[in-house]
Amino acid sequence: MLMNEKLQLIEENLHRLNVKLGDIELPNPVMPASGCCAFGHELNNFYPINKLGAIMIKSTTDVARDGNPNHRIYETSNGMLNSIGLQNPGVDVVIDEHITWLDSIGANTIVNLAGSDTESYVNVARELEARAKDKVTAIELNVSCPNVKHGGIQFGSDPQTLKNLVNEITKVTTIPVFVKLSPNVTSIKEMAMAVDETDAYGITMINTLVGMAIDYRTGKPIIANKIAGYSGPAIKPVALKQIYEVRQVTNKPIIGMGGIESATDIIEFLSVGSDAIAIGTANFNNPTICIDVLVDLLAIMDEMGIDHIDEFKGRAHV
Amino acid sequence: MLMNEKLQLIEENLHRLNVKLGDIELPNPVMPASGCCAFGHELNNFYPINKLGAIMIKSTTDVARDGNPNHRIYETSNGMLNSIGLQNPGVDVVIDEHITWLDSIGANTIVNLAGSDTESYVNVARELEARAKDKVTAIELNVSCPNVKHGGIQFGSDPQTLKNLVNEITKVTTIPVFVKLSPNVTSIKEMAMAVDETDAYGITMINTLVGMAIDYRTGKPIIANKIAGYSGPAIKPVALKQIYEVRQVTNKPIIGMGGIESATDIIEFLSVGSDAIAIGTANFNNPTICIDVLVDLLAIMDEMGIDHIDEFKGRAHV
Amino acid sequence: MELTSLKVIKHEKIAAKTYELVLQKPTHICPQPGQFAMVKVEGKFLKRPLSISNYTEDTVTFIYKVLGQGTKLLSESNPLDIEVMLPLGTSFNLETKHATLIAGGVGIAPMAALAKSLHENGTTVDVHLGYRTAEEVFLAEELKKYGTVTIYTEDGTAGTKGYCLPQEINSNSTIYSCGPHPMLNAVANKYPNKGWLSTEEYMACGFGICAGCVIKLKSGMKKVCQDGPVFAKEEFEC
Amino acid sequence: MELTSLKVIKHEKIAAKTYELVLQKPTHICPQPGQFAMVKVEGKFLKRPLSISNYTEDTVTFIYKVLGQGTKLLSESNPLDIEVMLPLGTSFNLETKHATLIAGGVGIAPMAALAKSLHENGTTVDVHLGYRTAEEVFLAEELKKYGTVTIYTEDGTAGTKGYCLPQEINSNSTIYSCGPHPMLNAVANKYPNKGWLSTEEYMACGFGICAGCVIKLKSGMKKVCQDGPVFAKEEFEC
Ligand SMILES: Cc1cc2nc3c(=O)[nH]c(=O)nc-3n(C[C@H](O)[C@H](O)[C@H](O)COP(=O)(O)OP(=O)(O)OC[C@H]3O[C@@H](n4cnc5c(N)ncnc54)[C@H](O)[C@@H]3O)c2cc1C
Ligand SMILES: Cc1cc2nc3c(=O)[nH]c(=O)nc-3n(C[C@H](O)[C@H](O)[C@H](O)COP(=O)(O)OP(=O)(O)OC[C@H]3O[C@@H](n4cnc5c(N)ncnc54)[C@H](O)[C@@H]3O)c2cc1C
Ligand SMILES: Cc1cc2nc3c(=O)[nH]c(=O)nc-3n(C[C@H](O)[C@H](O)[C@H](O)COP(=O)(O)O)c2cc1C
Ligand SMILES: Cc1cc2nc3c(=O)[nH]c(=O)nc-3n(C[C@H](O)[C@H](O)[C@H](O)COP(=O)(O)O)c2cc1C
Ligand code: FES
Ligand code: FES
């Protein structure tokens, strides 16, 4: 099936795929996950990214970051490790070069926001509010990026710290804020309940697990940062379980992710309580995965006699 | 290579494979993990299990347990989910029928001990102390079995609770106690430090991650218990990372496990700080895996010019 | 019981969604009717349990239906060798003068070796086979060599319309049944006869070490792979 | 740049641990010397980056060395089709009258298309090839068609003993180099000439979306898959 045929099929079935996250309306539930689509330019060479539900761009910080030394990535059995280290050109460049372009082509942009202290987070939010609020669909607060030394993880691993950070952000921006939960906690429910008590608009989950790879010959870690984020199909069972639990404690919209590779994966994520889904690692092996799974999803819906994807939502809980 | 040839090769190279866990001496570093070898009778049909480093028998509770309804297991990409629910005949039968037999054939037996409250744990330890202390190499305290409703997990997820439990156990038995850590915590280091402050003899890790599988057609969880333990190659990166971190905070012996399938996996686990290793899920696909990896390990040692496995230990930390 | 890689002699479709897989086996491996094997499917983590449908001195035959990903992968592949662990589990007790075989769907597979063996022992054999629809019919012709064969289809496209539950059974006939759980329960409770039922459960190891396949029967928790798959009929009666 | 499944025309060993893989390609895919592809290896999660060693109107050739699990798997398999993403990355700038090619190990692979193209442009080509040992020598004969070829081996079993670093180079010759990082750094700093170096890094996507392949060069952090693999020589000078 040619790409334009795929796009047309999706176009004709948007009434079966459209998603409402509170007041936010998306044409379909699929978006590439942050850090797995850069700022969209590359994927746009394969298909028009304004056809996506949305695009979650790379974590953006107040000032430019070089990120970590290499090796930054490594393969595992059915997944991968990464320790990129939040490399990004800083919020100003992101707005001028990327968000402006994404807006001009009509893409729904979700800006992933990262920092190493509350202030640096707030700076980015302020900047977005001041210069890009009409160009941005939502903010995704990365409180869990596990691969930055002295940073990230602690915000997402203590309920009170998390709550404080979210409150500081929602104070300075009118852009809907989604909090991206880290799976590497004792109780994901506690974290979700903390977010539920804030003005956060919704939740995205899960970020990467944390793992390590060793070169058996030298006995040394392969990733320069030693410890890295673990993603891909291998983490899917963990993602499904945590979204299932979080859905039990909040009614806020959830954008689910973690190892999604296929249309049946999407149905599983909707079943445990996701309202929309994101695809990360799978983009690396197939640049058109986000379009391909929508085509497959429609085929399965026809076969199962499902009119609208909403019929899949939350079935694991009834 | 025939089994008896494999066994002979191992026999001739025990001086390169032998392990000292404090005062506990094992002929080699490989043992089948708890719940993945029942009580040893089945594996003993494939090879003499007294040739193993040791055998970690199924979790034992004070009274017999039926365990969970089915489905109890399901496949994932490169791993599996299980929710057996600590099915076991109770400590008395375990001693009379299994430990006694294991002792009679000269196997090094590590008894995995489980319970739902401190008392039920202590009862098993008392019983073992009273009736089997000379027949048991060590106790493995399962404080983390994530697949038993209202039980298991909380002991291993709070440092103080964990410490209290361990102290109660070490009070009533002279058998060396290994504490089996759960990976499903915010800080594995905190848990290891808590154990380090007790009279526990050592640490075994990791127990299963927690995951879920959904039937996309019905949208319902496939495992009867809904939530299940996640094991196999998919969890290896997490195990390596957590053992690496725990080795930084304790000098107690560590028996490492989590997705081990090959001799190179064993070398990786030794490199991050394990003193011996256990193989769980891989026994299901290959009943002789514990012997096969020893043969492969010797071949790699020859190729690398390694005299003794101790040379692999802790290389990731230097 | 051993884990070994066997040469594929034949692998072909024999009915709708249904495939026959014949492997060459060493003569020292001697299965009994009702036993099963764990069959490796390349690309899948766990092996798949499949009944040994039939066997000769140097072959073993499986008949499988495409149900999910693993059986689909297997049906689409043409491996030269397949890793299998076999023979596993309990077998049917053959001591009886008169046998009534009641099998449905893929539960029909093990009836081949069973009917043959009973027939060789001089037992009178009546076979009742249930299918969803006509194009899924398999083994029916071959089984006529060993006794009477009655076919049932849910949609009536072949034989008697309805479920595979004969009206009455010779009171001193021994029942041998294999099929989905609801069918086994129906068989267990509809007829007073003694008999042997073969059941299914998800399996990780197939030889007793994981406790994944345990089901609750009258006499307690049983491992389908080790205490079963063939159990005495009473175990299912309520 | 596209992801496509190409027919395998040839897949054979051409030197110790070294294999040649020739795929049939549609004519609309037009690689340039120095570009690479991401090659799928069945059973491995990520694709493997391999330089396009050579190409014709309707074929593309890779030469790979067995290094780890993926290349081992590939060398042991005989697929009919292979999924590849290509062409990827930057190519060598061919504008020069005199070219000195310095390549080591698998870095020699892309020299085939490069030498050919330079030769066709009327450029004078001197090729210096470094191998570990004689039995790993490949492409040397073919490259003689395009210019002078000097061989180096670390153990002296063929050509000059030692590393592949020519004593001196014609001052107005452009350097083209591909090989391990240490070699590139040596080349970058030993000769004053301008030139183009092709480098390596672990890759997940191969087309710029993961930032996994980024290395620090003089002008900053660069994606090897997108800003490279071919960079201007100054970028490596210190
Ligand atoms: C003792 C025994 C004998 C069997 N004999 C036959 C036979 O002769 N012919 C035949 O076609 N089928 C037989 N089955 C059923 C067969 O094992 C399943 O159809 C098969 O495992 C489905 O695998 P899948 O990958 O296609 O399905 P998936 O749903 O993709 O499999 C996912 C997981 O669930 C397990 N699973 C799914 N359904 C079943 C099931 N019904 N029983 C056991 N495990 C299941 C799979 O083994 C796998 O581990 C038998 C099962 C058992 C326990
Ligand atoms: C742009 C580019 C062009 C290349 N061209 C060639 C070529 O023409 N011929 C050739 O033989 N090799 C080439 N390489 C190197 C080749 O990619 C590696 O040898 C190969 O990926 C090793 O895979 P493996 O599975 O055998 O090793 P493993 O160590 O098992 O691989 C594990 C992971 O590490 C990655 N990896 C390991 N070593 C390297 C490496 N040196 N470079 C990049 N990734 C690595 C693998 O891709 C994989 O993701 C090239 C690399 C790059 C970046
Ligand atoms: C290479 C790579 C880079 C990533 N970078 C980010 C990031 O910058 N910010 C973030 O919040 N998540 C980041 N992630 C996490 C993904 O957005 C996603 O949450 C995770 O990978 C799970 O989804 P997946 O299994 O589909 O990849 C990154 C993941 C990968 C693989
Ligand atoms: C089927 C199954 C049953 C298990 N039962 C137990 C148990 O009873 N007690 C326990 O401490 N761990 C149990 N485990 C966990 C294993 O001992 C081991 O810690 C874990 O599976 C990781 O190792 P692996 O990836 O090699 O299987 C079980 C694992 C599996 C797969
Ligand atoms: S399948 Fe493992 S015990 Fe039955
Ligand atoms: S490999 Fe993904 S950006 Fe280069």
User: In this predicted model, what pLDDT tens digit does every residue of D109-132 receive, in sequence order?
Assistant: 999 999 999 999 999 999 999 999
Beta strands at C36-39 and C48-51: parallel, antiparallel or unpaired: antiparallel
- Compute the residue count for chain D: 238
Shortest distance, CA C188 to any CA of chain B (angstroms) = 20
- Per-residue pLDDT, B204: 98
Report CA(A67)–ligand 6 centroid distance (Å).
14
- Identify all chain C residues contacting B73, using CB atoms and an 8 Å cutoff: 202-204, 210, 212-213
State the alpha helices, DSSP H only, in B173-281.
188-196, 236-247, 263-272
H or E element in which residue A192 lies? helix A188-196
Q: Residue A230: in which H helix or E strand, if any?
A: strand A228-231
Q: Is D215 near chain A, with CB under 8 Å?
A: yes
For residue B53, pLDDT over 70 is answered with: yes
pLDDT digits (tens, 9 = 90+) for D78-108: 999 999 999 999 999 999 999 999 999 999 9
Instruction: For residue B116, name the pLDDT band (cuts at 50, 70, 90).
Output: confident
pLDDT at residue number B152: 44
CA of residue B44 to ligand 1 center, whole Å: 27
- Whether A287 and chain D come into contact, CB under 8 Å, resolves to yes
Q: Does B101 touch chain C (CB under 8 A)?
A: no
**pLDDT by residue (tens digit) across A219-240?**
999 999 999 999 999 999 999 9
Mutate to test the interface with D, among A88, A284, A288 (most CBs of D within 10 A): A284
Per residue in A259-318, pLDDT (tens digit) is 999 999 999 999 999 999 999 999 999 999 999 999 999 999 999 999 999 999 999 999
Q: How confident is the model at residue C238 (pLDDT cuts 50, 70, 90)?
A: confident
Please answer whether residues A264 and B216 qualify as being in contact, where contact means their C-beta atoms are separated by less than 8 angstroms: yes
* Ligand 6 pocket test, candidate residues D35, D226, D231, most atoms within 8 A of CB: D226
Tell me how far apart the alpha carbons of residues B283 and A189 are, in angstroms, rounded to a whole number. 34
Phi, psi of B163 (to 5 degrees): -60, -45
Mean pLDDT of B242-247: 98
**Residue A219 to residue B79, Cβ atoms within 8 A:** no
Model confidence band, residue A153 (pLDDT cutoffs 50, 70, 90): low
Show residues of chain D in contact with A286, CB under 8 Å: 3
B56 vs B65: CA distance, rounded Å: 19
Query: Residue B153: its pLDDT value, please?
Result: 58
Cβ neighbours of A45 in D, within 8 Å: 1
- CA D101 vs. chain centroid, Å, equals 11
Cα A14 from Cα A12, distance rounded (Å):
6
pLDDT of residue A138: 98
CB contact under 8 A, A240 and B212: yes
Percent of chain A at pLDDT exceeding 90: 92
Rounded to whole angstroms, the Cα distance separating A259 from A268 reads 11
Hey, what are C105's tokens? Answer: 């769907």
Q: Is the pLDDT of residue B145 over 70?
A: no
Kindly report, residue by residue over C13-47, the tens digit of the pLDDT: 999 999 999 999 999 999 999 999 999 999 999 99
| Confidence (pLDDT) at B107 | 98
Q: ipTM of this predicted complex?
A: 0.96
Query: Is pLDDT of B62 > 50?
Result: yes
Sign of CA dihedral A57, A61, A66, A71: negative
Q: Ligand 5 pocket: which of C38, C48, C209, C231 to mutate (most atoms <8 Å of CB)?
A: C209
Yes or no, beta carbons of C213 and B69 under 8 Å apart = no
Q: CA-CA distances (angstroms) from residue A247 to A250, A256, B8, B316, C3?
A: 6, 11, 56, 40, 44
- Give ligand 2 pocket residues (Cβ under 6 A): A 74-75; D 36, 46, 48-51, 63-65, 67-71, 106, 109, 200-203, 229
Where does the pLDDT of residue B147 fall: very low under 50, low under 70, confident under 90, or very high at 90 and above? Answer: very low
Task: Tell me the C-alpha distance between A155 and A118, whole Å.
Answer: 9
Task: Tell me which ligand sits closest to the C-alpha of residue C60.
Answer: 1
CB atoms near residue D189 (< 10 Å): 12
Residue of chain A with shortest Cα separation from D201: A71
| CB < 8 Å to B235, chain A | 234
Show which subunits contact B, needing at least 3 CB pairs below 8 angstroms. A, C
Percent of chain C's residues with pLDDT above 90: 97
CB-CB neighbors (< 8 A) of A316 in chain B: 214, 219-221
DSSP string spanning A92-122? HHIIIIIIHHHHHTT--EEEEE--SSHHHHH
The answer, yes or no, to whether residue A149 has pLDDT greater than 50, is: no
Are the beta carbons of C201 and B74 separated by less than 8 Å? no
- Supply the mean pLDDT for chain B: 95
A196 burial (CB, 10 Å; 0-12 / 13-18 / 19+) is: middle
- The token pair at C149 is 């064969």
CA distances from D159 to D18, D134, D154, D163 (A): 19, 8, 10, 11
Mutate to test the pocket of ligand 5, among C210, C215, C222, C231 (most ligand atoms within 8 A of CB): C210
Backbone angles phi, psi at B141, to 5 degrees: -90, 110
> What is the residue-wise DSSP string for C70-104?
HHHHHHH---SEEEEEEEES-------SEEEEEEE
Distance from the CA of D42 to the center of ligand 4, in angstroms?
Answer: 29
